Amino acid sequence: MLQITNLQTEVDGKPILKGLTLAINPGEIHAIMGPNGAGKSTLAYTLGGRPGYEVTGGSVVFEGRDLLELEPHERAAAGLFLGFQYPVEIPGVSNVQFLREALNAQRKARGEEPLNAADFLKVARAQADALGLNLDMLKRPVNVGFSGGEKKRNEMVQMGIIDPKLAVLDETDSGLDIDALRIVGEGINRIMRKPDKAVLLITHYQRLLDYVKPDFVHVLAAGRIVRSGGPELAHELEREGYARVAA
C-alpha cells in the first residue's frame, strides 16, 4: 500500500529525514517510536503534504501512485488521512458543515455522488455515538472549546466519517487521560483494523499500543529507522529507553 524509499526531507534548510525507508501493506498497523527531534512529525507532515517540508530525495508510492506529486487534497482523496498531534481550532466553521464538505469533496474526486444533509447526519451520528461524543458538539465550531480528549475523539469521528485507506496518526495519545485513551484506541481498531486498510501510528509511549496492538514497531532516530521489530520492541523501549535500544 505504502512504499517509502530513502526519503529525505528538509525544514527551513535543515535536514530532518535522512534516508527513511518503510513499507506498509494492507491490513497492517505500524507504530513508529523515537525521541524528540527524531523526525516523527516531519514524516507525518511530509506524507500529508504540509507546506515548508521540502523533499530533497527518495520516493513515496501510495497504491501505485507517486504520493509526492499529489497536492494535499489529492492525497486525501486518494485515501490518506493525517491525524494531528494538536488538532487546530477553526472558529466560525461548523464541525458538521466542515466534515460534510470534506467528505463530499473526496466523494466527488472519486466520482461518487455527494451525501445529502440527512444521510450525512446519520453517518455522523453513528460515528459520534461510537466514540462517546455528543452530536451537539459536532454542531459547534471545529474544536473550539473542546478539551484535549474531546479534540482527539472528534478527530476519530472525522476519520470514521471519511473512512480512509491509510491513517497517519501523529501522537494521537498526546494529552489523553486513561478513559479517553481507551476510547480513542478502540476507535482506531473499529475504523481501521481491516484487511484493506493500514495505519502508521506515531507515538512516544507504549500505553496506546496496549489498545492498538501493532504488527510492527519501528525506532526512528536521527532521521532514519534504526531498528524494527514486533510489539515486544515497544516494551523494550519502555524498559531501556531510546538511547540504549537505538544504539
What backbone phi and psi angles, to 5 degrees, belong to 145? 80, 5
Name the least confident of 80-94, 171-185, 197-211, 218-232.
171-185
HSE-CB at 8 with a 13 A cutoff on CA atoms is 9
When pLDDT is averaged across residues 99-117 and rounded to a whole number, the result is 88
Local structure of 97: helix, strand or coil:
helix
Q: CA-CA distances (angstroms) from residue 11 to 23, 50, 109, 229?
A: 24, 11, 30, 29
CA distance 240 to 245: 7
How does pLDDT run across 128-174, given as a tens digit for each residue? 888 877 777 888 898 888 887 788 888 888 899 999 999 999 988 77
Contact 27/195 with Cβ under 8 angstroms? yes
Local structure of 42: helix, strand or coil:
helix
When pLDDT is averaged across residues 227-246 and rounded to a whole number, the result is 84
Quote the pLDDT of residue 246: 62
Q: CA-CA distances (angstroms) from residue 163 to 13, 37, 99, 234, 243?
A: 35, 30, 12, 28, 37
Quote the pLDDT of residue 245: 66
Residue 183's contacts (CB-CB under 8 Å, 6 or more residues apart) are 131, 132, 153
CA distance 41 to 47: 10
pLDDT surpasses 70 at 247: no
How does pLDDT run across 53-82, given as a tens digit for each residue? 999 999 999 999 999 999 998 999 899 999
Residue matched to cell numbers 453513528: 126
How does pLDDT run across 25-55, given as a tens digit for each residue? 999 999 999 888 889 999 999 999 999 999 9
- DSSP 3-state percent helix, strand, coil across the chain (nearest 5): 40, 30, 30
User: Given pLDDT bands bounded at 50, 70 and 90, which one contains residue 243?
Assistant: confident
Residue matched to cell numbers 509511549: 205
Quote the pLDDT of residue 189: 92
CA distance 151 to 142: 9
CA distance 221 to 201: 16
Name the least confident of 32-36, 210-214, 219-223, 242-246.
242-246
Quote the pLDDT of residue 107: 87
Quote the pLDDT of residue 48: 94
Q: What is the DSSP letter of 171?
A: S
Quote the pLDDT of residue 154: 85
How does pLDDT run across 190-208, given as a tens digit for each residue? 999 999 999 999 987 788 8
When pLDDT is averaged across residues 110-124 and rounded to a whole number, the result is 89
pLDDT surpasses 70 at 180: yes
Set out the domains of the chain in order of their start, with CATH numbers.
2-245 (3.40.50.300)
- Radius of gyration from C-alpha coordinates of the chain: 18
Query: Pairing state of beta strands 80-83 and 53-62?
Result: unpaired
| Residue type for position 199 | V
Pull the grid cell for residue 131. Answer: 466514540
pLDDT surpasses 70 at 186: yes
